[in-house]
Amino acid sequence: MMKTMSCLFLKMNMQMGKVGEKYDIDFVVSTGDNFYDNGLISEHDNAFQESFTKIYTAKSLQKQWYSVLGNHDYRGDAEAQLSPVLREMDSRWLCLRSFIVDSELVEIFFVDTTPFVQEYFTEPKEHKYDWRGIGPQKPYVNNLLNDLELALGESTAKWKIVVGHHAIRSVGHHGDTQELVEKLLPILQANNIDFYINGHDHCLQHISDTESPIQLLTSGAGSKAWRGDIKQTNPRGLNFFYDGQGFMSVKFTQTDATIEFYDVFGNVLHRLTSSKQLHSST
């Protein structure tokens, strides 16, 4: 059984490389909007090389990357990012709609959150979303939730993390994602999830769920940060908010989790620690 695990969440090239080396990370997670502003145009889009392969060149970042799709990715050829052609070009890349990474010590459940959001279907404005592979919205979301609930219930991992692109709770530009508050959060609360990690809002933030031990963590500060807007001045459960660019690291052992938020200079802005008993009480 794996005794420790370290990974990075989201992007900040040089400093990510330094932190990745310091912790000898196992993998990297991207929380979506992988290719800004409108995803990829095809699996042969040069943006894949220019925005991924040629950017994350540090030795410590030559590990597996796990990525979910964001709403901006759905504005391009969403299926291109899922294509094995990209993995042939750069073996680090793995992007799927919803999937599970199980290290025994930690189990990470990646959730495709974009199809949850009703306005992308009913009020797309000038945008065109690539809904191929989704089918009707309601059955897709319901099936996803059913599969997630079953997988969470069967998980025996010491630590359980759910990763999606959209925030459940946020004081940033987009605010709460009401569809996730209503449909996803109750399932997480009922299944002893430790952390929900997302992107979408271009900031770093840590919010404690007021009805469960779940910690809600936003790592969406890889690009276009510094918006200067905040939804509420005194939101419930807010522990940390940073409007600038940065990224997160997460380290797990059998008994402890340490999450650190970094700015572009590699300074630790906020640290969260969580502990569990080594053995469950009988």
As annotated, the active-site residues are 174
Give the whole-angstrom CA distance, residue 207 versus residue 221: 16
CB 195 within 8 A of CB 161: yes
Give the whole-angstrom CA distance, residue 127 versus residue 117: 14
CA distances from 179 to 27, 53, 71, 98, 138 (A): 30, 34, 14, 17, 12
Residues marked as binding for Fe cation? 33, 36, 71, 165, 200, 202
List the structure tokens of 167: 């925030």
Residues marked as binding? 33, 36, 71, 165, 200, 202
Task: Give 193-243 as a 3 state SS string.
Answer: CCEEEECCCCCEEEEECCCCCCEEEEECCCCCCCCCCCCCCCCCCEEEEEC
Q: Which of 239, 260, 258, 257 is nearest to 248 (CA)?
A: 260
Query: Coil, strand, or helix at residue 96?
Result: coil
